[in-house]
């Protein structure tokens, strides 16, 4: 099994994360997003619009998963993390994750009410590499 440090290193090399939420009918909804802005232990931080469908779904049901993969010519590696997603709208969280170019998405800047931080807390993981899969606790 890979160490937590190796898993985090793998995630940090990816440009895209796939985020899954649960809709009002109990079906999974998947979306590609930029990789996490910050990783702290088993917490992963993303940005999105407060008004987005995804943020609204997480407010109603915090169950979530995120998926990362790397596909080479002869090797595929994938990692799914399952856990919960919080929608953070406090000023401190928003300032910590903010980047200069974000005004392209959030016109009113870091205090834009339509800007929020998604905080994913991983509990379990499933890793695939070299034709082998394994599940393990990630917390």
Which residues make beta-bridge pairs with 20? 30, 65
CA gap 122, 131 in Å, rounded:
24
Q: What is the pLDDT of residues 73-90, one digit of tens each?
A: 888 999 999 999 999 999
Residue 139 pLDDT greater than 90, yes or no:
no
Is the separation of the CB atoms in 88 and 82 below 8 Å? no
How high is the pLDDT of residue 72?
Answer: 84
Residue 1 pLDDT greater than 60, yes or no:
no
Averaged confidence pLDDT in the chain: 94
Mean pLDDT of 98-120: 95
34 closest CA partner among 42, 21, 20, 46? 46
Which residues make beta-bridge pairs with 88? 117
Mean pLDDT of 46-66: 97
How far from the centroid of its chain's Cα atoms is residue 112's Cα?
21
């Amino acid at each position: 099994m890979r160490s937590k440090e190796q898993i985090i290193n793998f995630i940090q090399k990816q440009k895209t994360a796939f985020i899954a939420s649960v809709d009002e009918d109990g079906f999974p909804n998947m979306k590609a997003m930029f990789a996490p802005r910050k990783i702290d232990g088993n917490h992963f931080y993303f940005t999105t619009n407060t008004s987005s469908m995804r943020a609204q779904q997480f407010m109603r049901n915090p169950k979530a998963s995120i998926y990362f993969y790397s596909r080479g010519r002869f090797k595929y590696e994938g990692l799914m993390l399952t856990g919960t997603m919080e929608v953070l709208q406090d000023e401190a969280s928003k300032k910590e994750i903010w980047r200069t170019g974000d005004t392209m998405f959030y016109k009113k800047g870091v205090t834009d009410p339509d800007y929020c931080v998604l905080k994913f807390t991983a509990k379990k993981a499933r890793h695939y590499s070299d034709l082998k899969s394994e599940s393990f606790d990630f917390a």
